[in-house]
Amino acid sequence: MPNLGYIGLGDMGGGMVKRLLAAGRSVTGYNRTQSKAEPLIDMGMTWANSPREVTEASDIIFSMVTNTKAVQAITQGPDGILAGLTPGKIYVDMSTMSPDYSKELAAQVASETGALMLDAPVSGSTVTLEQGKATFMVGGDKLAYEKVRPVLLDIGPNVFHLGENGKAVAMKIAVNLSLAVQMLAFSEGVLLAEKSGISREQAVEVMVNSAIASPMVGYRGPFVLGHPEKAMFDCDMMQKDLNLAIELGQHLNVPLPTTATTNEYLSAARGMGLGHYDFSIIFDVLARMSGIDTGR
């Protein structure tokens, strides 16, 4: 089996490494904060001191970081991923970033190192990842995809090749805008029921078992009864994705009215000091506007 590398060991990246280690894969990892990697090291992951060290030790290198700027930080410079890439290696970025930059980076990888790059963002949360239900979207060279696909299947059962570099990131942005828009619509429904005299608990129970229930509504809808202190996907991260969607929509002449509206509610959440919560906190924004104090 190929030697694997993973850069960015947050909740999602760390969860993927856990699944790879459980599948018997050899993984070398790096994270900006080493303490977050200690449980993975205890499970058998090999620690490296830089993205370059991970890349030099690996045949297939994965990364997942917060945004385009963070991808630039781990790929460029003397300790970056590009410095360790050589022909035959495959670099797979799982971050949600600018599709244009993803394409530029893939071209840079090919021209400067002779390696190949895929974009392979994941649809799902820490919950779906733990359940082994994550979905991967992949863009880039088809032969490189075929080499990486068995590794991705060790993490989740659904892997789709969508064509050239950048297309998978665009698909991820299209998916993520729907998450936020669904949450806003769900929140409207719960509040309408609540102000009609139905308890919030009853409204949530009915809605998560109704025709409108999606996997996201199923696991995130109950957050309106009590938001987790540790955000699954906070407002800053979701707003970053919605801004990417709005930018892409403007570039492609696709109107995104519900996305733009939902984005404003995330801005309101941050203005109310709620931005560190999971993006489902937009329920509380609507609740306050409706005259309901949620206590947050």
Catalytic positions, written as ranges: 172
Q: Record the tokens describing residue 170, joined without a space.
A: 């665009």
Strands 27-30 and 46-47: parallel
Block residue for tokens 């904060």? 33
**Alpha-carbon distances, residue 42 vs 15, 35, 46, 129, 131 (angstroms):** 14, 12, 9, 20, 22
Q: CB neighbours (10 Å) of residue 1?
A: 12
Give the DSSP letter of residue 222. Answer: G
Per DSSP, the three-state class of 285 is: helix
Q: Is 122 in contact with 136 (CB distance < 8 Å)?
A: yes
Q: Is 129 in contact with 15 (CB distance < 8 Å)?
A: yes
**Alpha-carbon distances, residue 87 vs 52, 102, 258, 263, 267 (angstroms):** 15, 19, 44, 42, 44
Sequence-ordered list of residues with C-beta below 8 angstroms from that of 271, at least 6 positions apart, any chain: none
Q: Record the tokens describing residue 54, joined without a space.
A: 């991970």
**Alpha-carbon distances, residue 271 vs 154, 275, 280 (angstroms):** 41, 8, 15
